[in-house]
Amino acid sequence: MLASLEIISPNTFEVPISWQDHLAMARQMIISRGGPKSIHRKDKVGYFLSTWFAYLDVLGSLSGSKVDKPLDSSYWAVDDDGHDPTERLQEEFQIDCLLGFTSHCIGILARIAELAKECEPSRLDPASGTVRRDWRPPPDVVTRAQGIRKELQQSRDCVYKACDHRPRDGDAGESAWDSLEIYATNEAFHWAGLIHLYRRCLNLPSNSPEVQTCVREIVGALYKVRRGSTAEACLLFPMFAAGCEMENERDRERLRGRLREVEGCGMMQVRRARRVLESVWGTGKAWEGLVGDDFFG
The reply to whether 185 falls in a domain is yes
- Return the number of other C-beta atoms located less than 10 Å from residue 272's C-beta: 20
Task: Name the phi and psi angles at 95, rounded to 5.
Answer: -70, 125
The reply to whether 292 falls in a domain is no
The reply to whether 280 falls in a domain is no
> CA 272 to CA 12: how far, in whole Å?
17
> What whole-number percentage of the chain has pLDDT above 70?
84
pLDDT score at 215: 96
* DSSP of 237-251: HHHHHHHTT---HHH
244 and 277 Cβ atoms separated by less than 8 Å: yes
The reply to whether 286 falls in a domain is no
The pLDDT tens digits for 236-246 are 999 999 999 99
pLDDT score at 286: 86
Structural domain harbouring 81: 2-225
> CA 245 to CA 284: how far, in whole Å?
10
Average pLDDT over residues 218-227: 90
pLDDT score at 240: 95
* DSSP of 85-126: HHHHHHHHTBBPTTTSSBHHHHHHHHHHHHHHHHHHHHHB-T
Average pLDDT over residues 274-297: 87
pTM score, two decimals?
Answer: 0.88
The reply to whether 201 falls in a domain is yes
Using pLDDT thresholds of 50, 70 and 90, give the confidence band for residue 167.
Answer: low
Examine the pLDDT at 216 and tell me if it is beyond 90. Answer: yes
What mean pLDDT, rounded, does the chain reach? 83
The reply to whether 243 falls in a domain is no
The pLDDT tens digits for 223-269 are 898 887 777 888 999 999 999 999 989 999 999 988 988 887 778 88
The pLDDT tens digits for 132-153 are 888 999 999 999 999 999 999 9
Number of domains in the chain: 1
The distance of Cα 235 from the centroid of its chain, to the nearest Å, equals 9
Amino acid symbol at 152: L
pLDDT score at 78: 47
pLDDT score at 31: 85
pLDDT score at 144: 95
The reply to whether 258 falls in a domain is no
The reply to whether 116 falls in a domain is yes
C-alpha angle 197-216-175 in degrees, rounded to nearest 5: 100
